[in-house]
Structure 1
Amino acid sequence: MTVSVNSPVWQHVNKQRTVKHVGTDWTSWCIRCCRGKDTVMALLWRRLKLVVTVMMVNLFIFIIIARHNSQDKNGHKVRIPSKPFWNKLVASPAYWNHQQQILDLHNNPILGANYSDADLPWANDTSLTSDPCQPNSRVTTQVKDYNSLPARFKDFLIYMHCRSYPIMVDQPDVCREPPFLLLAVKSLAPHFDRRQAIRQSWGKAGVIANQTVVTIFLLGNATAGDHHPDLSEMLHYESVRHKDIIQWDFRDSFFNLTVKEVLFLEWIQTRCTSAQFIFKGDDDVFVNTYRILDFLKGLSEPKARDLFVGDLITNAGPHRDKKVKYFIPESMYIGTYPPYAGGGGYLYSGVVAARLHNVSQHVALYPIDDVYTGMCLRKLGLAPEKHKGFRTFNIEVKYRSNPCAYKSLMLVHPRTPQEMIQIWAWLSSPNLNCQ
């Protein structure tokens, strides 16, 4: 039997097929939608996990840094001060330390702003007259053992605040041609033979190794009270003849070498600001000027600007033995010394010289000049540098007669006038072979 496509039976079959087909497509679409939602949720979940992980890592790093910042280099926890930062200052029992405390208070606006005169009555030193170069008689009661101190201490303490002395002999034109190297030699009036040996050897002024070198000798006044013979006329002739003597009217004693130091720094700023480098030393040393010039020409600009080299002395303090030349009683100074270069001789730049001049006004005079220079450097925040070419404590005996032993050195102490001339002749000889 044939059934027509238009018959009710056939139409019923087609209707069932259509319903079945539509149902199948709807199920597939629902499945696809559900699967898409699962994918989106999985993606969102992964992103959430990533964000949480990053946050946890950052939190962990923050905790580590916070713990690190709360500890010092030794691993100890830093404690926040519970008391005021500015503790009340107490006057030092040692006279020099006390005078330095007063200078620090007067020259430091931060300290001055935190204390009044009523807070620190000891900081107002009323023992000085309007002229600091007048004898300070009050010091005899301020230093507890003053009466038992040697005469050199009494003399220093009475005139400790005086920094200005008349100049007796000057050489205003000595630096007319700007020197590359200024050789400043501490000397005494009777030491003519040493000065003459230096003029004939390592202190020979003029052009050396294509550089201008100027030599001057720094003198005080050799007073009759120290039993020096009167050599004023001879000194006058020497000054006219060589034009290299600078002399001030102060007592030329061991403890007044610091006075000579501050007067020389002032002299540089008025007469020889053009000096690029300065060697300052004693008149019983040998200086290898050739080696110094080679050393200076090889310096970089920053190194040359802040230069201060010599025979460095560290971890030192005052001698308490009265038999030692450098004896300092506890009534005068307590504490250790800053690093300093031995006074036999050291080398520094003209820039450092100007800075030392300025800062020296804020450092109380101390009776040992090389220690005092170290104090000024400490105040500047500069550290003197050790150079093995400076031998202020001599060299081994077996090398002293060997010309080649001096070729790489800058300074040797001590040497007699004859030895200076001999060593200079060795170094100046074109036949010297030190291979």
Structure 2
Amino acid sequence: MQWKRVKFIVIMVMVNLFIFILMCRQSGQDKNGRQKIIVPSKPFWTKLSPVDAYWNRQQQILDFHNNPNWSVNRSSTDLPEWLAQTSVSSNTCDQNIKVTTQVKEYNVLPDRFKDFLLHMHCRSYPIVVDQLDICKEPPFLLLAIKSQIPHFDRRQAIRQSWGQAGVLANRTIVTVFLLGMSSSWDFHPDLSDSLRDEIGRHPDIIQWDFRDSFFNLTVKEVLFLEWIQSRCQGAQFIFKGDDDVFVNTYLILDFLNGLSEDKAKSLFVGDVINDAGPHRDKKVKYFIPESLYVGKYPPYAGGGGYLYSGSVAAHLYEVSRLVPLYPIDDVYTGMCLRKAGLGPEKHKGFKTFDIEEKYRTNPCAYKSLILVHPRTPQQMIEIWGWLRRSDLNCQ
């Protein structure tokens, strides 16, 4: 009797399941047996609402105007005021006075932020020193070093050590130093005569007519990406770094020679920082107010130095025009990578926060490292001498 009851329950469950499936199939058809068109209850493109942070809003505006799904069949009169606004043309570098009312608490921001915001729209500055033929023979590796006019000793130490241009391990290397202009506002002495003499002796200086400040390193970044496309497009790989790092150029070449073709094309490696966000402490060098930016940063490589392919450089140049300038250059590069659908890869050979003190005077510690930061000009020359020793045994 118990078995018959179980059998009956099983049969009823199967019948109900069959009826449910049949009803589901019929609900997707009209009376003529054709499939019904299911209309979404909500629009796919949601209505954009502004955020208070100025950078985020500028990114929203750029995204909107570069997304045909949002902008099709719309006129400027259809748009909300905040979305219809456009920045001052990037063809002029006049101050954008509008930001003084568009940025919350603008008047209490430090001067460096005010200067950045007033000129944030400007991406085009005259080049005052160029090297037209420096990449006439496309190099395997382009070393691009961010420097400033007063840093004569750093540039010379790099030329005498890891940044020597020419042929190394059967690979062609070209070195350039990226400079802006010193400003009396930053209390720099006039060193124009000394720089002119250096340029006469070393044809490796690229200089643009913009204020060379910490927040303008992003300007230097976009100008350099443009310079690559016009002057050194044939470079297979680019190392870009600061003038206070030591780089094991031998190891870079070994690393690049061992890459597969696909890996080489999409290369972007460095000391990658994940899950970071803006510092809100005003005493920190990297302080960013909430009125400028909200949210987390994308993964990015520390600005002490990173290595990438010529193909990635071209992608970065294209997407950089779709990303508003940001005051921290390495974060900005991470933003551009994300916009290009790429990401930086962490490499353990990049030590942008130095190595343990007990290893700093050990020549063998530098054999397996691509980059160490920071190092003085004297230390650069000393370490390079260690690596060139034929009797250096690090077994």
Do they fold alike, i.e. is TM over 0.5? yes
Tell me the amino acid that sits aligned with residue 96 of structure 1. Answer: W
- Give the structure with higher Rg (CA): 1
Q: 2:47 aligns with which of 88, 99, 102?
A: 88
1:109 aligns with 2:72: no
Partner of 1:312: 272
SS in 2 for 1:342: strand
In structure 1, distance between residues paired with 2:57 and 2:107: 19
Aligned to 1:141: 101
Pick aligned residue for 2:57 from 98, 106, 115 = 98
Structure holding more helix per residue? 1
Confirm or deny: 8 A CA contact 2:90 2:123 kept in the other structure.
no
How far off is 1:128 after superposition? 2.4
Alpha-carbon distance in 2 for matches of 1:324, 1:154: 17
1:183 aligns with 143
SS of corresponding position for 1:144:
coil
Q: Is the 8 A contact 2:90 2:122 kept in 1?
A: no
CA distance in 2, matches of 1:205, 1:129: 39
Q: Which amino acid aligns with 2:64?
A: L
Q: Is 1:164 aligned with 2:124?
A: yes
Q: Name the structure 2 match of 1:271.
A: 231
Alpha-carbon distance in structure 2 between the residues aligned to 1:133 and 1:376: 22
Instruction: Write the distance in 1 (CA, Å) between the matches of 2:89 and 2:203.
Output: 38
3-state SS of the aligned residue for 1:269? helix
Of 284-293 and 104-113, the range deviating more from structure 2: 104-113
Pair 1:342–1:130, CA change in 2 (3 A): closer
For the Cα contact (< 8 Å) 1:181–1:214, is it kept in 2? yes
Residue ranges of structure 2 left out of the alignment (5+ in a row): 1-13, 25-38
Q: Distance in 2 between matches of 1:430 and 1:333?
A: 52
SS in 2 for 1:262: helix
Aligned-partner Cα distance in 1 for 2:359–2:83 = 54
3-state secondary structure, aligned to 2:153: helix
* Change over 3 Å in CA distance of 1:114–1:404 after alignment to 2: farther
Secondary structure (helix, strand or coil) at the match of 1:101 reads helix
Match of 1:36 in 2: none
2:90–2:124 contact (8 Å) kept in structure 1: no
CA positional deviation for 1:113: 2.2
**Structure 1 length-normalised TM:** 0.81
The residue type equivalent to 1:88 in the other structure is K
**Secondary structure in structure 2 of the residue aligned to 1:215:** strand
Counterpart CA distance in 1 for 2:79 and 2:213 is: 39
Equivalent AA in structure 1 for residue 291 of structure 2: S
Higher relative contact order (CA 8 A, sep 6+): 2
Deviation of 1:317 after TM superposition, in Å, equals 0.4
Q: Describe how 1:18-417 pairs up with structure 2 within 5 A.
A: 82-113=41-72, 116-117=75-76, 118-126=78-86, 128=88, 131-417=91-377
Shift of the alpha carbon at 1:349? 0.3
Structure 2 counterpart of 1:180, one-letter code: F
Contact 2:269/2:347 (8 A) holds in 1: yes
What SS is found at the alignment partner of 1:234?
Answer: helix
CA distance in 2 between partners of 1:122 and 1:216 (Å):
42
CA contact (8 A) 2:239 2:307 kept: yes
Moved over 4 A (4+): none
> Which amino acid is the alignment partner of residue 418 of structure 1?
Q
Contact 1:280-1:346 within 8 A present in 2 as well: yes
1:346-389 deviation digits (Å, cap 9, x = unpaired): 00000100110011011100000000000000001001000000
Whole-angstrom CA distance in 2 between matches of 1:99 and 1:130:
14
**In the alignment, is the contact (CA less than 8 A) between 1:181 and 1:212 conserved in 2?**
yes
Identical amino acids, percent of aligned pairs: 74
Cα pair 2:139 2:173 within 8 Å, conserved: yes
Match status 1:428 vs 2:388: yes
Deviations 1:81-123 (Å, cap 9, x if unpaired)? 6322222100111100011111111111122127553243311
Counterpart secondary structure, 2:72: helix
1:175/1:272 contact within 8 Å kept: yes
Letter in 2 for 1:348: Y
Partner Cα distance (2:162, 2:65) in 1: 44
Q: Measure, in 2, the Cα distance between the counterparts of 1:241 and 1:415.
A: 25
Going from structure 1 to structure 2, the CA distance change for 1:129 and 1:305 (only over 3 Å counts) comes to: closer
Aligned amino acid, residue 291 of structure 1: L
Structure 1's unaligned 5+ residue stretches are 1-55, 67-79
The letter for the 2-side match of 1:411 is: L
Q: Distance in 2 between matches of 1:246 and 1:130?
A: 22
Structure 1 residue 224: Cα displacement = 1.4
Alpha-carbon deviation of 1:126?
A: 5.0
Partner residue in 2 for 1:12: none
Native 8 Å contact 1:86 1:114 kept in 2? no
Secondary structure in 1 aligned to 2:253? helix
Aligned length: 361
RMSD of aligned Cα (Å) = 1.8
Q: Deviations over 1:191-216 (max 9, x none)?
A: 00000000000001110011001110
Q: 2:311 and 2:196 mapped to 1: Cα distance?
A: 32
- C-alpha contact (below 8 Å) 1:89/1:120 kept by paired residues: no
* Amino acid in structure 2 at the alignment position of 1:394: D
Distance 1:276 1:239 in 2: 26
Supply the distance in 1 between the matched residues of 2:359 and 2:213 (Cα, whole angstroms): 33
Q: 1:422 to 1:205 in 2, by over 3 A?
A: same
Give yes or no for contact 2:180–2:210 (8 Å, CA) kept in 1.
Answer: yes
